[in-house]
Structure 1
Amino acid sequence: MQTNATYSSLVAIGDSFTEGMSDLLPDGTYRGWADLLAARMAARTPGFRYANLAVRGKLIGQIVDEQVDAAVALRPDVITLVGGLNDTLRPKVDMGRVRGLLEEAVERLAPACEQLVLMRSPGRNGPVLERFRPRMEELFTVVDDLAKRHGALVVDLYGAPSLADPRMWDVDRLHLTGEGHRRVAEAVWQALGYEPEDPEWRTAMPPTAPPGWVARRTADARFARQHLLPWIGRRLTGRSSGDGRPAKRPELLPYEGPVRQTPGM
């Protein structure tokens, strides 16, 4: 990892995590960690260019088929790849196939950029994560192995106490809040060799009194009605939330950036 890093371009590929859900802007679009990271990098480097090819709901096979070649063709200084987590959340998954597809992606992306960035994705505490934790950790073992073999950076979000806190997650329990995305941007910023703006991004939040029984049951019912049941319906019918949706920023263009967030909730 270099210090006083200077990169002139960034391409981000992946799924909803990289698209920016659920860091919602007033106009109804999503911002997210990749936009925040690009804004910081652009502030340091005149003419900085940024593309974001990520689309919500994509499986690793779709990322390989639809985004990898496009990212390679852009030849940026930095490429970030976060994918495979949607596969682990499916009722049935062939982890051998996921491994092979990730390896294919990394083998094609690493030579096409100065620095490839991979991640161990964050996971909130709770029963849903516990069910899928073995698959997730198997995925992260693959990520670590590929990074060592191809000189990629690995940003460990999974091991960050702050990002395991349910308060960092939106009501759908699958996507980070704006504060969560800010901390991810800080993590990648530091991994790329830039001087920290928030050295404590990993630190757990101060504890607060847990919600009462009624509040928890109300939240559970709303989650099931608004998010869990539609998600199950898409799984049963083979649909995805990203079907027919274009990439948020498909061209590698100069970037002025979104509104900055400051540390804290």
Structure 2
Amino acid sequence: MEMNATYNSFVALGDSFTEGMSDLLPDGSYRGWADRLAARLAARTPGFRYANLAVRGKLIGQIVDEQVDLAAAMEADVVTLVGGLNDTLRPACDMGRVRGLLEEAVERLAPSCGQLVLMRSPGRRGPVMERFRPRMEELFRYVDELADRHGALVVDLYGAPVMGDPRLWDLDRLHLTGEGHRRVAEAVWQALGLPAEEDWRAPLGSTVPERWLTRRVSDARFARQHLGPWVARRLTGRSSGDGRPAKRPQLLPYQDSRDSSLS
């Protein structure tokens, strides 16, 4: 990887993680790590172009069908692909199919862009995620294999202990806070050979542990407001992204005053 390289265009593919939930802006929209990274890249390069095809809730098959060909046709300098994790969180998951679809996506994207970037997604610590952890780790091992075969970069968020800190996760325990997204943007920035501005792996400062009753009340609220609806969608095959368009469907010059702050 060339250090301090110049990138003129960036396309992001994926699901809610790349769409930017729950990095909420004042107008009710989401920013997220990909928007944050695009803002930083645009500040270095006049005429920089950016597209974000990610839509919350998408499975890897939907990403392949709806996003991959569009992204490949854009022939961007940088393409990020993060997908498959939603599949692993379904009650029934055919990991062979997930691997095959991920391989199809990588084979179509890698030749069409300057640099393909894959990720080992972060995982919040907790009993709900423990059930799905073997599938997640199988997916991440295959991400590493594909990267080796196709010259892609891998950003290992899963291997960074700080990314499992509950304070980097929103109340739904599925999506990163603004601080979490900011760290992901820095991680990808560094993977692309650009000068580090901070140690994104640095642990958060210590805090006073919550009392037992406070934790139980928080758990009950989470189960009622987030876990129950999430399980219901999985059981019925519905998705929070059904009918929702991509946030930036075209590769256009990046201009967004909301992202003028890079941190």
TM-score of the two chains, using structure 2 as the length reference: 0.97
CA apart distance, 1:261:
4.8
Aligned residue number for residue 103 of structure 1: 103
5+ long unaligned stretches in structure 1: none
Alignment map for 1:80-95 (pairs within 5 Å): 80-95=80-95
Mapped to 1, the partners of 2:130 and 2:148 lie a distance apart of: 27
Mapped to 1, the partners of 2:235 and 2:162 lie a distance apart of: 33
CA apart distance, 1:260:
2.1
Residue 180 (1) aligns with residue 180 (2): yes
Cα deviation 1:189-245 (Å, max 9, x = unaligned) = 0000100111x2101112211111121111111111111111111112211000000
Aligned residue number for residue 27 of structure 2: 27
Cα deviation 1:38-64 (Å, max 9, x = unaligned) = 000000000000000000000000000
Aligned residue number for residue 48 of structure 2: 48
- What residue identity is the alignment partner of 2:261? R
Aligned residue number for residue 216 of structure 2: 217
Identity %: 78
CA apart distance, 1:129:
2.1
- What residue identity is the alignment partner of 1:260? S
Aligned residue number for residue 154 of structure 1: 154
Aligned residue number for residue 201 of structure 1: 200
Identify the range of structure 1 (215-224 vs 188-197) with the bigger mean alpha-carbon deviation: 215-224
CA apart distance, 1:25:
0.3
- What residue identity is the alignment partner of 2:252? L
CA apart distance, 1:90:
0.6
Mapped to 2, the partners of 1:213 and 1:145 lie a distance apart of: 43
Answer whether contact 2:91 2:235 (CA < 8 A) is retained: no
- SS of match in other structure, 1:148: helix
Residue 246 (1) aligns with residue 214 (2): no
TM-score of the two chains, using structure 1 as the length reference: 0.97
Mapped to 2, the partners of 1:225 and 1:24 lie a distance apart of: 22
5+ long unaligned stretches in structure 2: none
Aligned residues: 261
CA apart distance, 1:153:
0.2
CA apart distance, 1:71:
0.3
Aligned residue number for residue 261 of structure 2: 260
- SS of match in other structure, 1:155: strand
Mapped to 1, the partners of 2:247 and 2:196 lie a distance apart of: 28
Q: Root-mean-square deviation (CA), in Å?
A: 0.9
